[in-house]
Structure 1
């Protein structure tokens, strides 16, 4: 990690806060509305709304209580991952079912992209972003080979079969923009909406893509695999890092050795090779350059960080794909 100057920091920034709702397991992604209510998807397939988070009148509602968005699907599993709000519509990428929309007013749902609406079918839809007019969604499919059940193998093997799509929300017409991506697991549309910034976890980098020409414009190297990317309130971006790979860790190996190692370990043994007890998040400036890293190396409040979303007062809502509860961190001292 010595090649990344911005990593040379020791702090406890991600310990400055509280944990709420320990009974909510695996809040991978967290969307925030104009009233600072939170929305998240859980490991058991539920989608939740948290009102007045961390305050005296905090309350929780299950948005999926009245329906099953996997009903009738040949895939009977659910795992909501990346979430986005646009007006009264909550969109999310489900790891098994595709791209789903919940109408918060009518408490109904719609499948925007079913997993088998494209060819080859979606294997692991992971995250999405939406244009400001709400008409177009850009989303990523992490792998053509490994499902969410085998995500650890996909990370270790590091193969590059991920895809970037766009879908017209009204017509549901879906188009492939780019393929051969290396485990894309995070996406954010940039300010002028001509580009998207993606995480390519399998190559430890962020990738800037011109969505008009479908060309890669730039790679931003990281010392470890990145996850979701979300805009900061004052410009720039937050990037979650689920684990920190020390020098010599298998995540830094070449793809051939990683594939051999993956075959030898199998899915049961791979997660034991990740240290998911720590929390880390990186702040990017508006030009996509990493500025600083923020840590909870003891895992007291944050661990296996997948996403950072900001509330209006600068509080950071920290998502994790395995943690119990949502961490609310005081981000005011980070600027």
Structure 2
């Protein structure tokens, strides 16, 4: 009997010991976690949107060019359909006659290093815009930079230290039609480009919207407490801007005069860059589809433990970036269609959709090399015009 009691105690203590060990590991992960996770509510998923209940392979039709270009996240298009983009490592390039037999690439940063005198030794050119021969972009680490595409000279419009607290994670910008004012986003005052997965895991809402006078370089804060604002687009009348708030899966329409959000547009995934369509309306790129129950919807304590256990790089593996998706908005900012490559055959990790003059879509990506050129999309089918020929 004594021996049996000892065996019973052993079977009792083993699960208790394992439980204590697991509890200790989880506690350590929570305490040492780099994030301070906060609640994130009001998530939407694909099934919540009638316009998203479609299946198509629209973003599989086309080709990928220049695979030597590493992660071109944003793409500007000039009047001749030449492309401008920035690459991982800091190069800025111009692609002449993209996809054609006489296609060529010019390195616009070959003769200079725009971060040479900076106290930060990193570069990551992200959001791009053209105004005449001047190419403006938001570098995640350095600030707002201008390159003259004709003279191949540059100017720092906004240095990261020009505001307080300093700019930490610039992502995108837009410019007024007269070229005098730039609006740009700083995604977080806590997390930089290298730790964007931690900003998402935490539910960070410390992002900011700024404007800068291009001539005087005077920079002003317009709005703060934004939830990971990456993409930005100025609307037609230039009284508002449309912002992406990735952490809340929504767009925010901001009145520039009152500096207030006047409308939210919910989406089924975290939006990235926003660009105008040629015939009115907007394109919104989305990096990944978060399935129901994705860890970003977990309670703060569990997200904090996950970040503590996996760190920034480990957390990145929990995002499925192997799919491509983009949403088309009408002129009233209402989503009207979704376009997909769920198998990731051509389009993956889409961060921007820009249109060429013939309707071809040039896609930027945070994970893929090369520029994806998607064939012009077919016009939408009007169900009222369809005819039943079965009889």
Q: After TM superposition, is the score higher than 0.5?
A: yes
In 2, the alpha carbon distance for the partners of 1:13 and 1:281 equals 10
1:314 aligns with 2:364: no
Which residue of 207, 219, 225 maps to 1:174? 219
Matches within 5 A, 1:281-296: 281-296=326-341
CA shift for structure 1 position 259: 3.9
CA shift for structure 1 position 255: 5.2
SS for the counterpart of 1:186 is strand
Say how many residue pairs are matched. 335
Structure 2 counterpart of 1:51: 96
- Structure 1: 4+ residue segments shifted above 6 A: none
Matches within 5 A, 1:227-238: 227-238=272-283
SS for the counterpart of 2:272 is coil
CA shift for structure 1 position 6: 1.5
Matches within 5 A, 1:173-322: 173-253=218-298, 257-322=302-367
1:143 aligns with 2:143: no
CA shift for structure 1 position 151: 1.1
Contact 2:283 2:328 in 1 (8 A): yes
Higher helix proportion (structure 1 or 2): 2
Structure 2 counterpart of 1:95: 140
Contact 1:115 1:121 in 2 (8 A): yes
Structure 2 unmatched ranges of 5 or more: 1-45, 381-391
1:112 aligns with 2:157: yes
CA shift for structure 1 position 260: 4.3
1:106-148 deviation line (CA, Å, top 9, x unaligned): 1100000000000000000000000000000000000001111
Structure 2 counterpart of 1:27: 72
Which residue of 55, 60, 64 maps to 1:15? 60
Structure 1 residues 257, 220: closer, same or farther in 2, change over 3 A? farther
Bigger radius of gyration among the two: 2
In 2, the alpha carbon distance for the partners of 1:8 and 1:241 equals 16
SS for the counterpart of 1:263 is helix
Structure 1 counterpart of 2:128: 83
CA shift for structure 1 position 252: 3.2
1:20-76 deviation line (CA, Å, top 9, x unaligned): 000101000000000000000001110010000000100000000000000111101
In 2, the alpha carbon distance for the partners of 1:43 and 1:255 equals 32
SS for the counterpart of 1:56 is coil
In 2, the alpha carbon distance for the partners of 1:252 and 1:48 equals 38
CA shift for structure 1 position 152: 1.3
Higher strand proportion (structure 1 or 2): 1
Contact 1:224 1:251 in 2 (8 A): no
In 1, the alpha carbon distance for the partners of 2:107 and 2:201 equals 34
In 1, the alpha carbon distance for the partners of 2:276 and 2:298 equals 31
In 1, the alpha carbon distance for the partners of 2:300 and 2:184 equals 25
TM-score, normalised to structure 1's length? 0.98
- RMSD (Å) for aligned C-alpha atoms: 1.1
CA shift for structure 1 position 331: 2.4
Structure 1 unmatched ranges of 5 or more: none
In 2, the alpha carbon distance for the partners of 1:264 and 1:240 equals 30
In 2, the alpha carbon distance for the partners of 1:258 and 1:210 equals 33
Structure 1 residues 246, 334: closer, same or farther in 2, change over 3 A? farther
Contact 2:58 2:377 in 1 (8 A): no
In 1, the alpha carbon distance for the partners of 2:320 and 2:138 equals 26
TM-score, normalised to structure 2's length? 0.84
In 1, the alpha carbon distance for the partners of 2:167 and 2:150 equals 29
Contact 1:43 1:79 in 2 (8 A): yes
1:165 aligns with 2:210: yes
Structure 1 residues 257, 196: closer, same or farther in 2, change over 3 A? farther
CA shift for structure 1 position 250: 1.9
